[in-house]
A and B are shown apart, each in its own frame.
Chain A
């Protein structure tokens, strides 16, 4: 059964654009773009690079290892060398709590 779990607060994310979350063996990257939050797998489908350490432009993140690009909203591949998308997790903000569904 999936459920929403609190992973951070908006205060905590006030000064950062990305955060790595270690959840029950799953590595998840939380991103902030403007006022929106996105959560996706923090393991690049190409060779396992940490997307939470990648550059973000708009809603596109570039893996710092070998340059694969993903859409933060859908997890879809936007640029090689990755060929499959990453998993995305629904995010909701309740008050100051940022929750993701896992």
Chain B
């Protein structure tokens, strides 16, 4: 039977970061990364942006070339999923039938797109976006003059209040996107390819292909079957340790205790996966570091750059700093006069560290609302 000291399950950002930290803190221990996709870890955000637009080459997506893993003596098993974990004898059974004994394992299996169940939903030409292969498939479809129907409202459905949603809708409308809100797609019509999407209210939207983005579900099945505690993700403590002390979880799949907001969260952001991977790697190699990150995320929508940090679900007040007309503003979320999150659109980067500080240290901002809303007021005065 093969064996490894550290087994990294999942071939994404978190595993990639864990591998680096493990090697930095344990120069000799055997590390094996097992990934279901046939690629070394790569950067997913680009799949819907620079790579899809043809501005980034394929080889630029990979965090490190395959040679790096050989040089660092990190074993790669790619194109193979872990099928089963036996915690009693700490053995993993791979989909190719091999068994691998390990001392410590990281579950970084990420998530998979929620698949819509509707007639026509399985037609060729109906796409989800998660992997490099998905992005390749969409790039092949998207050509000049092709019509796409996108199902799912994207980032603003989650972060935005009605005013902000209106801003994005107007902006995207100017760029040639037609919105059908308060709608549900009921059917994808077409013989061997999509030709239209019908909606609840009876609209029929002609199209050449369809992309669906309605969220992900965490890949917890492996952990669950192994008997680990699972509750909206693999439940981990502040060290990212699962209910078995030699098993860790990181990234989209982890349900962790957030010290900033003092509650359990499962976060599907790149920066969180990067951070978790590093933390888990350090702790698997013997450190006792605890999670301490103000979670953040960014995105690009046409030429708008979005920066978000905190937890927008915790708020009883929303303030605007800057003006929609200038396409440069920050939305501030507060709860009981404490800043819990910000959502910045083409805003001055200089303010982000101050806002993150206010979130982390829970400054009481009662009576400071007018200053927040005045873009000429230097936020440093609030520190």
Q: Is the CB of B352 within 8 A of A80?
A: no
The listed residue (B274, B348, B349, B356) touching A49 by CB distance below 8 A is B349
State the majority secondary structure of interface residues on A.
loop
The listed residue (A53, A62, A67) touching B348 by CB distance below 8 A is A53
Q: In the docked arrangement, what's the CA distance between A19 and B37, Å?
A: 43
Q: Is the CB of A64 within 8 A of B353?
A: yes
Q: In the docked arrangement, what's the CA distance between A81 and B29, Å?
A: 24
Q: With a 10 A CB-CB cut-off, give which of A49, A50, A62, A64 has the most chain B CB atoms.
A: A64
Q: Does A55 contact B (CB under 8 A)?
A: yes
The listed residue (A47, A64, A81) touching B352 by CB distance below 8 A is A64
- Interface size counted on chain A using CB atoms at 8 A: 14
Q: Is the CB of A81 within 8 A of B353?
A: no
The listed residue (B20, B275, B352) touching A65 by CB distance below 8 A is B352
Write out the residue numbers on chain B whose beta carbons fall within 8 Å of the beta carbon of A6: none
Q: Is the CB of A65 within 8 A of B298?
A: yes
A62-93 vs B, Cβ < 8 Å mask (1 yes, 0 no): 10111100000000000011010000000000
Q: Is the CB of A64 within 8 A of B350?
A: yes
For window 267-302 of B, CB contacts with A under 8 Å fall at 271, 274-275, 278, 296, 298
> How far in angstroms is the closest Cβ of chain B from A97?
27
Write out the residue numbers on chain B whose beta carbons fall within 8 Å of the beta carbon of A50: 349
The listed residue (B278, B353, B356) touching A80 by CB distance below 8 A is B278
- Kindly report which residue of chain B lies nearest to residue A53, judged by CB atoms: B349
> How far in angstroms is the closest Cβ of chain A from B41?
13
The listed residue (A62, A81, A83) touching B275 by CB distance below 8 A is A81
> How far in angstroms is the closest Cβ of chain A from B72?
13
Q: Is the CB of A66 within 8 A of B296?
A: yes
- Kindly report which residue of chain A lies nearest to residue B300, judged by CB atoms: A48
- Kindly report which residue of chain A lies nearest to residue B348, judged by CB atoms: A53
The listed residue (A47, A55, A83) touching B353 by CB distance below 8 A is A55
Q: B interface vs A, CB < 8 Å? A: 20, 271, 274-275, 278, 296, 298, 307, 348-350, 352-353, 356
User: What are some 8 contacts across the A-B interface (CB < 8 A)?
Assistant: A49-B349, A50-B349, A62-B353, A64-B350, A64-B353, A65-B298, A65-B307, A81-B274
Q: A interface vs B, CB < 8 Å? A: 47, 49-50, 53-55, 62, 64-67, 80-81, 83
